[in-house]
Amino acid sequence: MADDAEEIENPPFDQIYRAEYLDGCDIEGTNPTVTIARVVKKNVVLPNGKITERAVFTLVGKEKKLVGNQGFVLAVRILLGTDETRLWVGKRLTLTADDEYDPSLKIVKRSVRVLTSPDATPENAKAYAKAYNSIPNKRGHGGLARVLKPIAARMKGQDMLVKLATRRKPAEPPAIAPDAPPDAPAIAPDAPQPTDEPGEA
């Protein structure tokens, strides 16, 4: 017998089978721009009942959350230019509905994809758009993730090079008087420099 506490009498029609997560049917025919409020990794139940880990995005002002598969998360990483998911919070994504093959159900369904981001640099937006448009017939079979992986890896390598180049340079050794012996003490930068002029008698 069902628990009365879980019952909603005369619910609105759109709440009867309302899903917890956003899917392609929710945004069909539109390309909404949403803002990321939170990113977590959690177990989600797939349509076939299997439980697996996914990135789950909470969106500002939206009741439904967004589950990101590998291709989706790689798209966000490339567009926003960072692996730091905490830096994704507050950034915007423009979404679109696209075909995706669901191997758990063996069907093609409408899923949510990242189209672009208003917060992406022109270079990152161009790199993602080129990858996305290069495989119009393979997105439903993991093709997008396969194309995005090397781009994300290359960006990560570039980030590491930038971090290495911008590290603080080691301090230069103190100056030594030109005519001083090798073991002479260093001269402080603000100390008076020696002079050959004779002093006053």
Q: For residue range 31-69, what is the model confidence (pLDDT) as tens digits?
A: 999 999 999 999 988 777 788 899 999 999 999 999 998
Q: For residue range 142-187, what is the model confidence (pLDDT) as tens digits?
A: 678 888 999 999 888 876 766 666 665 555 655 555 565 656 555 5
Residue 32 is assigned to a structural domain of this protein: yes
**Predicted confidence band of residue 93 (pLDDT cuts 50, 70, 90):** very high
Residue 118 is assigned to a structural domain of this protein: yes
Tell me how crowded residue 2 is: count the other CB atoms within 10 A of its CB. Answer: 6
Residue 194 is assigned to a structural domain of this protein: no
Residue 60 is assigned to a structural domain of this protein: yes
Residue 196 is assigned to a structural domain of this protein: no
Dihedral over alpha carbons 153, 158, 162, 165 (to 10 degrees): 110
Q: How far apart are CA 114 and CA 108, in angstroms?
A: 18
Residue 199 is assigned to a structural domain of this protein: no
Of 84, 48, 52, 88, nearest to 67 (Cα)? Answer: 52
**Residue-range definition of the domain harbouring residue 63:** 13-165
Cα-based angle 137, 138, 141 (whole degrees, multiple of 5): 140
Structural domain count, the chain = 1
In this structure, what token pair is assigned to residue 121? 């640099």
Tell me the pTM: 0.70
Residue 1 is assigned to a structural domain of this protein: no
Residue 6 is assigned to a structural domain of this protein: no
